Amino acid sequence: MKFRPLHDRVMVQREDDDERSPGGIIIPDTAKEKPMKGRVIATGSGIRSEDGKITPLDVQEGDTVLIGKWSGTEVKMDGEDYVIVKESDIMGVLA
C-alpha cells in the first residue's frame, strides 16, 4: 500500500533494540521500552508559510532518526507497525 503523509508529518518505522540485556537476560515484550530510533519511510511535502511558500522538511526517506518514546500516532499497514510524527517531534538525524 502506498502512503504519503501530509504537510510536515513523517512516517517512521521503529527499529527494535536487542532482546537481551547486557548480562544476557532475555527481556519480554511487555517489559521493553519503546525504541526511540527509527527509519524514515515517507515524508510529507513540507509546511506552508504565511506567504504561501512551502518549506521542505529537513529529513528524507531512509534517514535514521531519534523520536520521543510516546510521540506520534501508531498505525499498522500491511502487517507492519509505523509511527506518524510531526517533524518537530524528531529530535535529530543519526549520521
pLDDT in tens, 43-83: 999 988 889 899 899 899 999 999 988 888 999 998 889 99
Cα gap 46→53, rounded to integer Å: 10
User: C-alpha grid cell for residue 44?
Assistant: 510529507
Q: Delimit the domains of the chain by residue range.
A: 9-94
pLDDT digits (tens, 9 = 90+) for 3-44: 888 988 999 998 875 555 566 676 665 555 565 899 999 999
The residue whose grid cell reads 508559510 is: 49
Cα gap 42→9, rounded to integer Å: 9
Q: pTM of the predicted model, to two decimals?
A: 0.76
> Please, are residues 87 and 58 in contact by the beta-carbon 8 Å criterion?
yes
User: C-alpha grid cell for residue 73?
Assistant: 500516532
Out of 2.30.29.30, 2.30.33.40, 1.20.1740.10, 1.10.10.10, the CATH code matching 9-94 is 2.30.33.40
Output the CA–CA distances (angstroms, integers) from residue 17 to 5, 33, 57, 92, in the order listed.
26, 9, 27, 18
